Amino acid sequence: MILTITPNPSLDRTYELPSLKRGAVLRAAGDRVDPGGKGVNVSRALAAGGHRTVAVVPLGGPEGALLDRLLGEHGIEAAGVPVAGSTRVNITLVEPDGTLTKVNAPGPDLAAAEAEALLEAVRARSVDADWIACCGSLPRGLRPEWYAALVARLHRAGARVALDTSGEALTAALRERPDVVKPNAQELAEAVGRPLAAVGDAVKAAEELRERGARSVLASLGANGQLLVDESGTWFGHAPAEAVRSNVGAGDASLAGFLAAGGSGPAALATAVAHGTAAVQLPGSVMPSPARLDPGAVTVTRSVPLDRPLGEPAP
Is the distance from CB of 259 to CB of 134 less than 8 angstroms?
no
Is the distance from CB of 279 to CB of 288 less than 8 angstroms?
yes
CA distances from 3 to 103, 116, 159 (A): 27, 18, 10
Write the Ramachandran bin of 62: left for phi over 0, alpha for psi from -120 to 50, otherwise beta.
alpha
Supply φ then ψ for residue 221, to 5 degrees.
Answer: -115, 30
Strands 180-181 and 161-164: parallel
Active-site residue (options: 31, 201, 252, 294): 252
For residue 32, give the 3-state DSSP assignment: strand
From the number of C-beta atoms within 10 Å of its C-beta (0-12, 13-18, 19+), residue 242 rates as: exposed
Write the Ramachandran bin of 107: left for phi over 0, alpha for psi from -120 to 50, otherwise beta.
left
Supply φ then ψ for residue 206, to 5 degrees.
Answer: -65, -40
For residue 50, give the 3-state DSSP assignment: coil
CA distances from 196 to 189, 211, 218, 224, 263 (A): 6, 18, 16, 13, 26
201 is catalytic: no
Active-site residue list: 252
